[in-house]
Amino acid sequence: MLRHGIELEISDKLSEYNQQLIKKYWECEKKTLRYKYSIQSLTNRYKFCNEDECEKYVARHSSAIITDERICCSSCGRRIIVKLRQELNIAFEKGFKFELDCRNCMDLSIDEIAKNVIDSIENIIHLEYNFLFKNRELSLTYLEKIYLYLISLKCQVNEYGKLKKEIWQDMFITERADKNFLIKSLYDKRVIFNTKKNDEIIKIINENSKFFLKKSHLIDLEFRNKYQKYRYLFLEENTFLNFDLNYESFNHMFEELRNQFDYYELDYLDIKEIREFILEQKIIDAYQLISNIQKYRPIPIEKSIELDCVLVELVEKYNLLVVNSLLSYQADKVALRLYNLEHAQQRDRDPYFVNKMFITRITSYLEYCKLNNKIPSHIRGIGPNWSYTSLEYFVSKSIINEGLSWTTFSGDELIHKWLNSEKVTIKPDL
């Protein structure tokens, strides 16, 4: 029986007879687990002049790979290869104490080994994740900074920048990330990024986990941190904040962001972006109102450029409650008109026609108001199931300091309040 925990590799150039010698060299008694043949007896049987010669022959033509899971190189984690019985004994003895190094590693310093591991991981990722290595200014706009702050505040970010999955997924929905150009822009600027599970890297991480654990106190901090970071990044799919080339730690970034919002100097682009963002959010709100209205009135109104323009006009001038009342009222009128059409002889329910009817009604109503100096003032609640974004809460409470949501402000009012808040100043050269 071959000795436990090893696997033989014998040169296939040897004759069957000489291969037998090597197998016998490693053969054990089943019961006692002792070697079956003494080196002396093999020397005599195979006619070597002495034991030394016999072992030299074995060593030259074969190796024994230690397959026992517990024994591996304490530095690189690779399997250990031995040539002789004596070597095997030492390997087992040292291996269990985690003091064993393979031939490769014995020639390298601890930091060289650590660096090799990091290099091999970075070789795999450097094309797809090159932003992890480039030290560059984040150059974020005011609103992007607010979003980064809110994400940092909410998502229980760990020291490697990992966002807590469930919270981020939830936030992705509540902040309408699919339509939110700020979150998209944070992704484009690689401040937020997603990782994929990478089997090649997982293999390297697993092979070296013992080394980084046991030799941790001897390894340069930079390598240790990188190793931990890559472990987090590529073990499974996750979302991360990429800050560590610009800040020493997550807390450092967080503090700096928070301090910035106390007195922020807005430039021209920031102001333009605030305006665009508010209108975009309010248009999304308005479409949500239309979809709520459609739940009770089967009128097919679809998104269109014309409707976009009408809604921009509405949300700029009127608050969401007024907009809701106005949309509902006109939807009722359209529904009634459709009902009448359907029950008349001419059955025209062409969807384009309905869209146009709805848009035309709102347009002519707004024209009527303008000509008569009337301001629509009827309001209609938006219902208890409305979802408010965290940015809306944050801006209402921490910047505008009025109310909790944007519902009661028109777009224009909101922009005015924001730009006149004591938390912001506008850059003087404007």
Binding site for Zn ion (CB under 5 A): 73, 75-76, 102, 104-105
**Residue whose CB is less far from Zn ion, 80 or 366:** 80
Strand partners, 426: 266
Name, in order, each residue with C-beta under 8 angstroms of 124's C-beta and a sequence gap of 6 or more: 198, 200, 201
What's the min distance (Å) between Cβ of 96 and Zn ion? 17
Name, in order, each residue with C-beta under 8 angstroms of 65's C-beta and a sequence gap of 6 or more: 6, 7, 8, 9, 79, 80, 81
What's the min distance (Å) between Cβ of 219 and Zn ion? 15
Cβ atoms of residues 289 and 324 within 8 Å: yes
Structure tokens at 118: 């990091």
User: Among candidates 325, 318, 328, which has minimal Cα distance to 407?
Assistant: 318
Left (φ > 0), alpha (ψ -120 to 50) or beta: where does 12 sit?
alpha
**Residue whose CB is less far from Zn ion, 102 or 283:** 102
d(CA 136, CA 117): 25
Cβ atoms of residues 313 and 366 within 8 Å: yes
What's the min distance (Å) between Cβ of 112 and Zn ion? 11
Name, in order, each residue with C-beta under 8 angstroms of 51's C-beta and a sequence gap of 6 or more: 39, 40, 43
What's the min distance (Å) between Cβ of 67 and Zn ion? 16
What's the min distance (Å) between Cβ of 210 and Zn ion? 11
Structure tokens at 375: 């301001």
What's the min distance (Å) between Cβ of 105 and Zn ion? 3
What's the min distance (Å) between Cβ of 78 and Zn ion? 5
**Residue whose CB is less far from Zn ion, 76 or 359:** 76
**Residue whose CB is less far from Zn ion, 215 or 282:** 215
**Residue whose CB is less far from Zn ion, 215 or 231:** 215
d(CA 328, CA 314): 13
User: Among candidates 4, 29, 8, 33, which has minimal Cα distance to 20?
Assistant: 8
**Residue whose CB is less far from Zn ion, 77 or 161:** 77
**Residue whose CB is less far from Zn ion, 104 or 158:** 104
**Residue whose CB is less far from Zn ion, 104 or 425:** 104
What's the min distance (Å) between Cβ of 199 and Zn ion? 22
Half-sphere exposure of 356 (CA within 13 A, CB side): 6
**Residue whose CB is less far from Zn ion, 75 or 238:** 75
d(CA 79, CA 63): 12
d(CA 82, CA 59): 9
What's the min distance (Å) between Cβ of 115 and Zn ion? 14
Phi and psi, residue 20, nearest 5°: -60, -40
d(CA 115, CA 109): 10
